[in-house]
Amino acid sequence: MKEFLKNDTVTYNLMSFTGYKTLVLFSLLTEGPKSYHEVSRFFAEHPFLHEKISLDTLRVYINSFRHAGCIVKRIRENGVSKYYIPEHPFKLNISDTQKKSIIKIYKTLIKNLDAEEIIMLDMLLLKLSNYIDDYQFVNDYKKVSVLNKLNSEIVRQLLECCNNKKQIIVSYNSPNSGIKDIELQTKRLVFNSNKLYVRARGLEYNQDTDFLVNRIVEIKDIHDADEENKETNKEITVTYKLKINGLVPELNSNEKLLEIGKEYATIELSGNNLFYIKQRLLEHGNNCTILEPDDFKQQYIELLKEMREEYNKRDTASTLK
């Protein structure tokens, strides 16, 4: 642990790699049939393992699973042997108190995490729920899950597209015009009123809009953004301090709470539309202090000076009359 805290790097000294490989392989085989080459490639590309395994080693692991009570089956697809685990004796047992605590912690976390972190948390809990032999708990968790009734594959693709600023064509079920294809320059996933949206520039009208993920029927095409769209979609992040006087600040979907105290909160505001960013900050009046970036801070100061000069001109003109 000391080594990890010092270097922030996972090394062979920090874990039992035999045990870790066993858990990784167990997870792979419970997901579905995997061939030796698929397993070996996964191990080679894994961020911590970086090494292939031999066919003999794979057989040793499979025999170990069988000795532990797992049912390991082999099928052949196109002449290739694949292995999977349809049943195993490993289940997580949790008490009623732990169940309530998990749900309570989850509800608290989703209020303070950004969309990507919430999605990763939800996917982790969804995977864990497969190992919990408690229908009522799993059902209760799915009721509060922000990803409930969403297509997990579409969410995964959107997250990847946003991280890589991809341009996509989606089949979208619009409440006004029905299902139609629209082209989007993806930016980020955001939550608003417990609903997941993809924030993107709609290329038909060249406007930034939040599109409900549950209205996306399918993603038809994914490609790199056109150069002209890359230029117009540069995002800026502004950090500011807000005087709150003991109250909890109301955040927009493109804001993230970084720190909160009795008198002040530190908030991160992101977007690619400078006009709307400045409008949001102006809403707070003199309760708002911009911390960074410096270039935007100077722009904002100049804006305030121009506004003051304009008001002074109006006051002077009014006095002369």
Q: Give 5's pLDDT tier (boundaries 50, 70, 90).
A: very low
- Kindly report which listed range (57-61, 252-256, 279-283) carries the lowest average pLDDT score: 252-256
Note the pLDDT tens digit of each residue in 175-232: 878 898 989 988 888 887 778 888 888 877 677 788 899 899 999 998 887 665 554 5
Cα dist from 88 to 69, 71, 291, 292, 297, whole Å: 6, 6, 54, 53, 58
Dihedral (Cα; 50, 56, 57, 63), 10-degree rounding: 150
Output the pLDDT for position 175: 82
Contact present, 245 and 263 (Cβ < 8 Å): yes
- In the Cβ-directed half-sphere of 88, how many Cα atoms lie within 13 Å? 23
At residue 307, does pLDDT exceed 60?
A: yes
76 bridge partner residues: 81
Q: Which domain holds residue 116?
A: 96-144
Q: Are residues 183 and 123 in the same domain?
A: no
Q: What is the mean pLDDT of the chain?
A: 82
Statement: residue 240 has pLDDT above 90: yes
The total number of structural domains that make up the chain: 4
Query: Do 102 and 136 reside in the same domain of the chain?
Result: yes
pLDDT tens profile 253-270: 788 999 998 899 999 998
Say yes or no: 132 and 160 in one domain: no
Gap between the terminal Cα atoms of the chain: 75
- Of 41, 70, 87, the residue that ends a domain is 87
pLDDT, position 194: 74
Contact 201, 233 (CB under 8 A): yes
End of a domain among 232, 267, 290?
A: 232
Task: Provide the CB-side half-sphere exposure for 215 (13 A, CA).
Answer: 18
Is residue 241 domain-shared with residue 274, that is, in the same domain?
yes
Of the two residues 193 and 7, the one the predictor is more confident about is 193
Say whether pLDDT at 12 is over 70: no
The CATH number for 212's domain is 2.30.30
Same domain flag for 65 and 115:
no
Q: How would residue 1 be classed by pLDDT, with cut points 50, 70 and 90?
A: very low
Residue 106, H or E segment: helix 96-109
Identify the band that residue 317 occupies on the pLDDT scale cut at 50, 70 and 90.
Answer: low
> Do residues 7 and 83 both lie within one domain?
yes
